[in-house]
Chain A
Amino acid sequence: MTDQVALSVADIEVLARLAALPLPAGRPEAIREPLSVWVQDANELSRKMSRPEYWHLVPATVFQHPVV
């Protein structure tokens, strides 16, 4: 099941405040719709990767120490 994400202008303003990112008028509206799609898809991927069969997977950015 995919949870629909419909971010509001107020949601964007909160996110921008968290990031200390000043957003002039009009910018939250410009971001709202495409970000909603990105967040929806990212949430779906997050749900998938939280499944027990994937608990053992580490992020691809973990150090792989060469043999010294």
Chain B
Amino acid sequence: MNRAQSELTELSLAQAGELIANRILSPVELVEACLARAEAVNPTINAFIEIYHDQARAVARAAETQIQAGHWLGPLHGIPLGLKDNIGLRGQITTAGSKVMGDWVPSRDATVAGHLRRHGAIFLGKTNMHEFAWGGTSDNPHFGPVRNPWDPERFPAGSSGGSGAAVAARACTAAVGTDTGGSVRLPSAVNGIVGLRPTLGRVSNFGVVPLAWSMDTVGPMARTVEDCALLFNAMAGHDPNDGGSLLQVVPDYTGDLQRGVKGLRIGVVPRYFFHHLQPPVHDAVKAALGTFEGLGAQVVEVDIENIHGNISAQLTIESTEPSAYHQQWLRERPQDYGEDVRTQLEMGEMLLATHYIQAQRYRTLLRREFMEAFKSVDVFICPTLPFTATRVGEMKVIIENGEEEDMLSAIMQFTGVPSLTGLPSLNVPCSYDQDGLPVGMQIIGRPFDETTLFRMGAAFQAATDFHQRAPKP
């Protein structure tokens, strides 16, 4: 890849969109640069299952013609995106990272893909992922593991690991992932990018292969908060095809990006947010809170009485619902699943109905406690996960005291809370550890208040430069 192309892949979505709108940059140039970058890095990081070389080039040429004719569709027009491979695209194989669905070709776009298409976005390819999104490592037995561009011996987290790695590696300008228990936020954190889990029901799940119906969401992933907000403008909205989709006005999510955070109240739950962390994560999030205080926000200690117990509730719901979806395949072709997903699906069949109902009642309790707390704070901030990227293939992690813990329950220590409560949450990169691995903080907001999350993240990125660093080429 030549120097000019490397400059193009460094452009944010907002920057590229403006250059395209002013006809200074052609979508053809941008797509070629991203394709070259994707070809260069994919043998190492394995972020893409499939790259749409010919189609992306053809759509870029069409976009160029449209824009030159004055038919500009908006800031996403001509922008190359990665799409997680559980999001259906009309006429394209959608695998969900699996062998079971390996030859599924949807007859229509997922709703969110259709929205992005209508805004002129160009799909560069389908990103690799944890099989059926049921895991947090993106160590895929059928398509190979995704690797972290900051250190290819490390994992990219998951399940949207391919989207996270592709964005961090500059192989696409931005990407789309899905998040049930953390699958946008976790790879965003360990790849050093921004990722949003929206309010449950804010973005349509129609056409997306489900994991857990009562917690599934689709979210944007990009290098800056502004880019995420621009993507989200195109993704959000009611969909009559999705029974969980909610009728709620879609604001301009970029509207408050310059507003600053003076007077905003940041809630922290010290006995949960700052315990059981690797020291670099603890220090990074504490420092980030200091940054926000320097910008005029106020940190308020809050207690959420019943926050402990959320991991068990998360695992119960996130295991039983997929097990219901996979019942037929699990009986007809169990050997076609990877070992970890097969085990989890079998386990999900063996939890009791009363376990599931009690977990769903716990969700009501936890949400009520957070909604009560939102009377005195505007957002919560905590780590996104308690550790930085572990080595590819590891299923145990050491957080403190040298004790090994199960990866699945450890990884959702903080991401389970928004998943259970339906609240929106945004990962923003906030530091790097001693090995140069990214650390992310999670900003949790009120229902449908993604605007405030973006406002906070934008203020942080205006005051810091963590989001401007790039992995070594």
Contacts and interface: CB of A to CB of B under 8 A. Distances in A.
Contacts of A31: 343, 346-347, 350
Contacts of A61: 214, 360
Interface in A3-53: 12, 15-16, 19-24, 27, 30-31, 34-35, 37-39, 41-46, 48-50
A39 B309 contact: no
Interface residues of B, number: 35
B330 to A, nearest CB: 7
B357 A30 contact: no
Interface stretch (B285-293, B313-321, B446-454): B313-321
B140 to A, nearest CB: 20
B350 A41 contact: no
A58 B319 CA distance: 21
Contacts of B367: 60
B363 interface: yes
A23 B342 CA distance: 11
A22 B346 CA distance: 10
Given A19-B349, A42-B312, A54 B355 contact: no
Contacts of B331: 20-22
B349 A49 contact: no
A20 B349 CA distance: 10
Nearest to A21: B349
A54 B349 contact: no
Contacts of B214: 60-61
B360 A46 contact: no
Interface in B328-347: 330-331, 334, 339, 343, 346-347
Nearest to B365: A57
A31 to B, nearest CB: 5
A20 B351 CA distance: 14
Given A15-B350, A19-B349, A46-B354, A41 B361 contact: no
Nearest to B213: A61
Interface residues of A, number: 33
B362 interface: yes
A21 B330 contact: yes
Interface string B345-385: 01101111011011111111101000000000000000000
B309 A34 contact: no
B430 to A, nearest CB: 30
A43 B309 CA distance: 11
Nearest to A41: B312
Most buried by B among A22, A34, A39, A46: A46
A61 B306 CA distance: 19
A48 B362 CA distance: 9
Nearest to A15: B350
B309 A48 contact: yes
A59 B350 contact: no
Interface string B293-317: 0000000000000100101110110
Contact of B364 (A23, A24, A38, A57): A57
Nearest to A23: B346
A14 B435 CA distance: 48
Contacts of B306: 48
Given A21-B331, A41-B312, A60-B363, A35 B350 contact: yes
Given A45-B312, A46-B355, A19 B350 contact: yes
A42 B361 contact: no
A11 to B, nearest CB: 9
Contacts of A58: 361, 364
Contacts of B316: 38, 42, 45
A16 B361 contact: no
A35 B406 CA distance: 13
Contacts of A41: 311-312, 315
B418 to A, nearest CB: 13
30 contacts: A16-B346, A21-B330, A21-B346, A30-B339, A30-B343, A31-B343, A31-B346, A34-B343, A37-B406, A38-B315, A39-B355, A42-B312, A42-B358, A44-B309, A45-B309, A45-B313, A45-B358, A46-B354, A46-B358, A49-B358, A49-B361, A49-B362, A50-B358, A54-B365, A57-B361, A57-B364, A60-B360, A60-B367, A60-B422, A66-B247
Interface of B: 214, 247, 306, 309, 311-313, 315-316, 319, 330-331, 334, 339, 343, 346-347, 349-352, 354-355, 357-365, 367, 406, 422
Given A16-B349, A50-B358, A60-B363, 13 more contacts: A15-B349, A21-B330, A21-B331, A21-B346, A39-B350, A39-B355, A41-B311, A42-B315, A44-B312, A59-B364, A60-B364, A60-B422, A61-B214
